[in-house]
Amino acid sequence: MSSTPVAEKANILLVDDTPNNLRLLTSILKGEKYDVRRAINGMTALMGVKASKPDLILLDINMPDMTGYEVCEALKQDVSTAEIPIIFISALDEAIDKVKAFQVGGVDYITKPFEVTEVLVRIETQLALRSTQLQLQRMNQSLELRVQERTEVLEEEMARRREVQNQLFHLANHDVLTGLPNRVWLMKQVEQCIAEAQSNHVSQSQESALLDDGGGGAIDVRASQANIDSPHDPHNSPASQPELSFAVLLLSCNRFKLINDSFGHDVGDQLLLAIAQRFEQVCLAHGCLLTRWSGEEFAILMESVYSVPEVTMLVNALRQAMLAPLIFEQHEVIIGISAGIALGHAQYEQPEHVLRDADTALFQVQATHRDIYQIFHAKMREQAVLSLQLESDLRRALAEHQLSLNYQPIVLLGSEQIIGFEALVRWNHPERGWISPAEFIPVAEATGLIIPLGMWVLREACFQLKRWQRCFPLNISVNLSTKQFAQSDLIETIDQILSASGVDGRFLKLEITESAVMDNAEHATQILAALKARQIQLAIDDFGTGYSSLGYLHRFPVDTLKMDRSFVQWLDEGDGSELASSSNLEIIKATVNIAHALGMNVVAEGIETNQQQQLLTALGCEFGQGYWFSRPLTTEQVETMLASVSEERLLCLS
C-alpha cells in the first residue's frame, strides 16, 4: 500500500456483526499499523467506547440488536464521545440511508463491497481532519489560556493603576501631613455650593414670579435682596441681605510661626496635627467640613447655613476647643485663633471669590489684633485694595528714602532734664503727603515689611545718635517689633548696626512689647540676655495692655517699664473736687511699685498736662514723655532745642 496513516498507532474501533468483515478490516488496518479493536454489536461497541475512547469508529448500520444509527445517536448525545468521527460501512446504497447516516452524526459513508484503498484513504482523511481538529482545539485552549492569563494580568494592572490613580487623586485632594482635604478639594465643594445656591435662587425667583402673576401683588423679598451690593455688611439690616446659603471660615493659628521657628518644623508638625484634631472634633459635632488651607491656616465649609448666629456659634466652639493647653516636649502652649468669614449666597460666581473675601476678613482681624473673627463686607474689599496700594507704596518708600525719623524727648519728671529721645518713623508720601504711622505701621506688620522698616529705623537712629553724641550726652530709644524680635539673625544685625555707627550699646534702649517677649518666654530670655551682654538697655513698651504676666516679668533682664498712655489719661479723671479717682491712682501706684520691686524704672507715655506730671512724680514715676514737654521733632528741631538749652537741662544716664 502506498498510503500512509496520518496518525501513528491511531486507535480504530470496528463495529460489525459479520465476523468475516471484522477479520478482513482488522487485517487491512493492522497492516497499516493502526491499533484495532472490534465489537460484534452495538451494545458491545458502546461499552468499548466508554472503556477506552477510539480515534475513529467504522460502524456497520444493519445489526440485529441495535442499528448503527442508534449507536451513533447514543455516542453523539454523550459529550465525552460526541467528537469521535464515525464512518458508516453498509451494503445499503440508497440515498435516503446515506442522508440519515449524516443526519445522526456520521462523517462519511462507505458502501459494501468496498475497495481497500478507498477505505484507507477515507480513514486517513478523517483521522487527519480529527487530528487537525484536536490541534485547533489545543491551540484554542492554549490561546484561551493565554488570553485568560493576559486578561488576569491586565486586570491586575488595571487594578494597580486604579489604586495608583486613587492614591494620586487622594494626594491631589488631601493634605499629606494631616490627611485633611486640601484647598483643591475645598474649591470644588465651594463651587458646588455656589451652583446649588444659584439654582435655589432661580427656583425661588420663579416661584415668586408665579405668585405675583396670580394677581396677589406679592413682593419677592428674596429677589430684592439680590440687588444688595454688600451681603456681609453687619450694619445692614437682615431684610436687606441676600439669602444666606453657605459659609466659609478661614482660620489662622496665632503665634504658630514663632513656635515653628523656635522649636523646629518637627514640633510644628506635631502641633498642627493636634490643632487639626481639635478642629475636626468641633466640625464633626457641627456637621461642617474641615480642610487644610496652607501653613498654619485651616478652612471650614458650612454647606447649609440659615443664619449668622450659626456661624458665630461655630467660631466660639472652635475658640473654646483651643483654650486647653497643647503639650509637646514638656512645653504647654495655648494657641489662639483668628477667623475670617465669607457668607455664601447666589451672587457669588467663582469659588475663588468666596475664599478671597474670607481671606480679606481674616486680614482685617490680624491687622486689628482685637476681634477673634470678622465677617466680610464690601467695604473690606475697598480697604484691602487700599492696603495693597499702601503696601506697594511703602516698599517704594523704603527704596526711595521717603521715610524720615522724628524724635520725642524723654525727660526726668522731677527736673524736666532731657535724658534722650525716642525715634519715631514718619512718611511723607509724594502724592498723599504725611501718612500717619497708625495707618502704615499695621500694613507693615501684616506684610512683614516691619522687619526692613524697623531695621532701617534702628540704623538711622544709631547714626543720628552718634552725630549728636559729639556734643550732647544722649540716649536713644527705638521700638523693636514682635516680628523683628522673632528674627533668628536679630543679634547679628544689631551688632552690625552698632559696629557701623560706632554707638556704644549703653546708649541704646530697645523698646519691646509684652506680647513679643511673652509669645515665647524661653526664646525671649535668650535674646534679652544676649542684648544685655552688649549693655543695651531694655524696656517693656505699652506695659499693662498685653499679657502683664508678673510671673515671667521678673525673669527678664529689663531696665524700664513704659506705662501706656491710657493709664496716664486716667489721671485727669475725677469729679472735679479730686485730681483723679483713687482707683486710677492705685493702679498706677501699683505699677510703679512693681517696677521698683523688680529693679526697673518707669517711663510714662502721653503726658499732656501739668497735673499728670505732678501726680506721676508724686507716685514715684521717674521719667516721662508727651506733648506737655514736646511733640516729636525733626532732626533740625532737635538740634535747635539742644543748642538752646543749658547743660543742666541734659542728663546722661550712662
Tell me the per-residue pLDDT of 5-61, one tens digit each, with 9 for 90 and over: 444 579 999 999 999 889 999 999 988 889 999 999 999 999 999 999 999 999 999
pLDDT confidence tier of residue 318, bands split at 50, 70 and 90: very high
Place of cell 468483515: 21
pLDDT confidence tier of residue 220, bands split at 50, 70 and 90: very low
What cell numbers appear for 283 in the block?
466640625
Euclidean distance between CA atoms 385 and 380, whole angstroms = 9
Reference 87, options 103, 102, 67, 76; nearest CA is: 102
Euclidean distance between CA atoms 460 and 405, whole angstroms = 8
187 & 275 share domain = yes
Question: According to the 3-state scheme, what is the secondary structure of 200-241?
Answer: HHHHHHHHHHHHHHHHHCCCCHHHHHCCCCCCCCCCCCHHHC
Euclidean distance between CA atoms 154 and 270, whole angstroms = 42
**Could you tell me if residue 623 is inside a domain?**
yes
- CA 518-520-524 angle, 5° bins: 80
240 & 91 share domain = no
pLDDT at 651 over 80: no
CA distances from 587 to 3, 511, 553, 580, 594 (A): 130, 22, 18, 12, 11
Question: Domain of 75: which CATH number?
Answer: 3.40.50.2300
What pLDDT, in 10s, does the model give residues 19-29?
988 999 999 99
Q: How many domains does the chain have?
A: 3
**Could you tell me if residue 169 is inside a domain?**
no
Share of the chain above pLDDT 70, in %: 86
- CA 91-2-85 angle, 5° bins: 45
What cell numbers appear for 643 in the block?
543748642
215 & 285 share domain = yes
- CA 188-190-193 angle, 5° bins: 115
pLDDT confidence tier of residue 573, bands split at 50, 70 and 90: low
Which of residues 122, 138, 154 is at a domain's end?
A: 138
Identify any residues that bridge with 478 across adjacent strands, giving them in sequence order.
510
Reference 240, options 75, 394, 48, 377; nearest CA is: 377
Which of residues 341, 376, 411 is at a domain's end?
A: 376
The pLDDT score that the predictor gives to residue 36 is 94
565 & 441 share domain = yes
Q: Torsion angle, CA of 368/373/374/376, rounded to 10 degrees?
A: 130
Reference 275, options 311, 312, 323, 310; nearest CA is: 323
What cell numbers appear for 403 in the block?
521715610
Choose the weakest-confidence range: 289-293, 354-358, 540-544, 561-565: 540-544
Which of residues 313, 341, 376 is at a domain's end?
A: 376
Euclidean distance between CA atoms 22 and 18, whole angstroms = 7
For residue 593, report the phi and psi dihedrals to the nearest 5 degrees.
Answer: -65, -40
Identify any residues that bridge with 477 across adjacent strands, giving them in sequence order.
422, 509
357 & 439 share domain = no
Higher pLDDT, 220 or 605: 605
Euclidean distance between CA atoms 63 and 41, whole angstroms = 6
What cell numbers appear for 34 in the block?
493502526
What cell numbers appear for 597 in the block?
520691686
What pLDDT, in 10s, does the model give residues 137-193?
888 888 888 888 888 899 899 999 888 888 888 888 888 899 999 999 999 999 999
Give the contacts of 417 (CB within 8 A, at least 6 positions apart). 411, 648, 649, 650, 651
417 & 477 share domain = yes
Euclidean distance between CA atoms 31 and 37, whole angstroms = 14
Domain that holds residue 133: 11-138
**Could you tell me if residue 526 is inside a domain?**
yes
For residue 392, report the phi and psi dihedrals to the nearest 5 degrees.
Answer: -60, -45
Higher pLDDT, 652 or 128: 128
266 & 334 share domain = yes
What pLDDT, in 10s, does the model give residues 266-285?
888 888 999 999 999 999 99
The pLDDT score that the predictor gives to residue 173 is 87
What cell numbers appear for 112 in the block?
459494501
The pLDDT score that the predictor gives to residue 223 is 32
Burial 185-219 (b: 16+ CB within 10 A, else e): bbbebbeebbebbbeebeebeeebeeeeeeeeeee
pLDDT confidence tier of residue 642, bands split at 50, 70 and 90: confident
What pLDDT, in 10s, does the model give residues 370-380?
668 999 988 88
What cell numbers appear for 423 in the block?
525715634
**Could you tell me if residue 166 is inside a domain?**
no
Distance between first and last Cα of the chain = 136
- C-beta separation of 408 from 631 below 8 A: yes
433 & 506 share domain = yes
**Could you tell me if residue 248 is inside a domain?**
yes
pLDDT confidence tier of residue 233, bands split at 50, 70 and 90: very low
**Could you tell me if residue 148 is inside a domain?**
no
CA 242 to chain centre: 30
Q: Report DSSP state, residue 17.
A: S
**Could you tell me if residue 177 is inside a domain?**
no
The pLDDT score that the predictor gives to residue 581 is 57
- C-beta separation of 339 from 365 below 8 A: yes
Find which of 205-214, 315-324, 420-429 is predicted with most confidence, using mean pLDDT: 420-429
**Could you tell me if residue 145 is inside a domain?**
no
Choose the weakest-confidence range: 230-234, 295-299, 461-465: 230-234
User: What mean pLDDT comes out for the span 509-529?
Assistant: 82
What pLDDT, in 10s, does the model give residues 406-446?
999 999 998 888 999 999 999 999 999 999 998 899 889 88
Q: What is the CA radius of gyration of the chain?
A: 50
134 & 192 share domain = no
450 & 509 share domain = yes
CA distances from 463 to 496, 497, 498, 533 (A): 12, 9, 9, 21
462 & 392 share domain = yes
pLDDT at 556 over 80: yes
- C-beta separation of 202 from 223 below 8 A: no
Euclidean distance between CA atoms 605 and 425, whole angstroms = 17
